[in-house]
Amino acid sequence: MGKRVVVTGAAQGIGRATAELCAREGATVVAVDRNAERLADLSGCEVRVLDLTDREAVTAFGENADAVDALFNCAGYVDAGELMATSDEGYRLSFDLNVHAITYMLRAFLPGMVSNGGGSIVNMASVAGPIIGVANRYAYCSSKAAVAGITRSVAVDYVGRGIRCNAICPGTVQSPSLDERLAATGDEQAARAAFVSRQPMGRLGSAEEIAYLALYLLSDESAYTTGQLHTIDGGWSMA
């Protein structure tokens, strides 16, 4: 791949799988997460411990970093509950991390990409919100729909300056935080079975399957796509 790539949320799940895949493919990867312990054993990547909701810290990170060719804004938070059951805290965190942190990262790294002649940005959305409504995910669906808007807005405004900006919309993917969400229901087995049953393929996705789409979008192989929501959901939204 031969590019310098920043991946957020890289300590676990899809971000981690993407950081390691890009590194194996020859990229110089800067892996960003607030979880220092889990970043520590990431193979083949530079690591940076950072709270992405801290605007000043993200700005300082961008000011002191080398220019990058590609950026994957992957970190995200899943808040549970329909409108009336959503806490102020969960709502705020959903937008702080899923939306505002992306804006901070874009402001920190996009100008350097433009100066360098261009680059590829990939934002992590979800099928939940941008593509379909999912029950009990008010803050999640609404914040991920904002990611779709960010993606299209940046794509349109910067297409003439060498910047591409796409979003990935996965269905349900096996990850450490998914395990926590299933356990939190009190009946992990039943919750897992319910999640699997809504997938036409009869299984959840893997982080590696999403990582290969991210690799494609971050690299020059995808040079003719921008401003798109790339759905990868095992057929969940096809009906």
Interface with ligand NAD (CB under 6 A): 9, 11-15, 33-35, 50-53, 74-76, 78, 97, 124, 126, 170, 172-173, 175-178, 207
Decide whether 53 or 166 has the Cβ nearer to ligand NAD. 53
Rounded least distance, CB 19 to ligand NAD, Å: 11
Decide whether 1 or 14 has the Cβ nearer to ligand NAD. 14
Closest-CA residue to 171 (of 239, 73, 83, 105): 239
Q: Which residue is nearest to ligand NAD (CB)?
A: 76
Decide whether 13 or 119 has the Cβ nearer to ligand NAD. 13
From residue 171, alpha-carbon distances to 33, 50, 190 in Å are 23, 27, 18
> What distance in Å separates the CA atoms of residue 211 and residue 14, rounded to the nearest whole number?
6
> What distance in Å separates the CA atoms of residue 185 and residue 172, rounded to the nearest whole number?
16
Rounded least distance, CB 232 to ligand NAD, Å: 9
Fill in the DSSP letter of residue 66: P
Decide whether 100 or 116 has the Cβ nearer to ligand NAD. 100
Active site residues: 140
User: What are the backbone dihedrals phi and psi of residue 65, each rounded to the nearest 5 degrees, phi first?
Assistant: -95, 155
13 in Cβ contact with 126 (< 8 Å): no
Residues 6+ apart with CB under 8 A from 111: none
Rounded least distance, CB 2 to ligand NAD, Å: 25
Rounded least distance, CB 60 to ligand NAD, Å: 14
